[in-house]
Amino acid sequence: MKKYKHLFWDLDRTLWDFDRNSEEAIRDLYEKHDLLSKLGVEFGAFFQEYLEINHKLWAVYRIGQIPKDELRLKRFHNTFKLFNYDNPVFALSFNDDYVALCSSKPNLIPHSKEVLDYLKPNYEMHVITNGFVEAQQVKINNSGLDKYFTEVVVSDGLGYRKPDKRIFDYAFEKSGATAENSIMIGDDYGPDVLGAKEVGMDQVYFTKELQKDEAATFVIHSLLELKNIL
């Protein structure tokens, strides 16, 4: 088996449980601001509409079609407007409170620390993430992940995002790694797997779906499976 020296990790949904932390944070703020009375809808219905709007906005943000500030404003403003509540100032404040609160949540994907403890003695480990710079390091620190990583590369502020090869090249330069002695571990096929392939790096595709057609160097369904690979 190929010997790797550097492991590059995605953060959200690979180690840090974005879905759970995000829902908890939005629910907390929904109750804090009594949005049931403002919007006239239960949290579950509101949250499902938000997920759809946020997903569409992130899709165009990732390819550079809208700026970060537009995403910050529109994801909650557009959701509120569905329920006849049009207040862009409140929506932007709600968004910024959400980013801060969500980032502070410590929930991790099952077995994250167990696997990181297993790997740390033998590898240099780093993060490459497409999230917001004001959030990602907070997530790492508050969840106790900071002790595992040498370099944390955040796309926000660099001007390019995974799968753009420049973010991988930048990570190699910062860490002293090469594509040949590194492997990328992530849950998002396009940014993580295809991005790593583009620069000649091996990949671990972490997916909850048991049947996937996409090709990767390795495919896992639990982080524990990394013990059989690394």
Instruction: Report the distance separating Cα 58 and Cα 129, nearest Å.
Output: 14
183 CB burial (10 A radius; 0-12, 13-18, 19+): buried
Tell me if 190 sits within 8 A of 163, measured CB to CB.
Answer: yes
Task: State which fold the 6-17+108-228 domain adopts.
Answer: Rossmann fold (3.40.50)
Encoded tokens for 138:
């907070």
pLDDT digits (tens, 9 = 90+) for 11-51: 999 999 999 999 999 999 999 999 999 999 999 999 999 99
Confidence band of 159 (pLDDT split at 50, 70, 90): confident
- Domain boundaries in the chain? 6-17+108-228, 18-104
Domain 18-104 has CATH 3.40.50.300: no
pLDDT digits (tens, 9 = 90+) for 177-193: 999 999 999 999 999 99
pLDDT digits (tens, 9 = 90+) for 93-133: 999 999 999 999 999 999 999 999 999 999 999 999 998 88
Q: What is the pTM of this model?
A: 0.92
Encoded tokens for 14:
């690979």
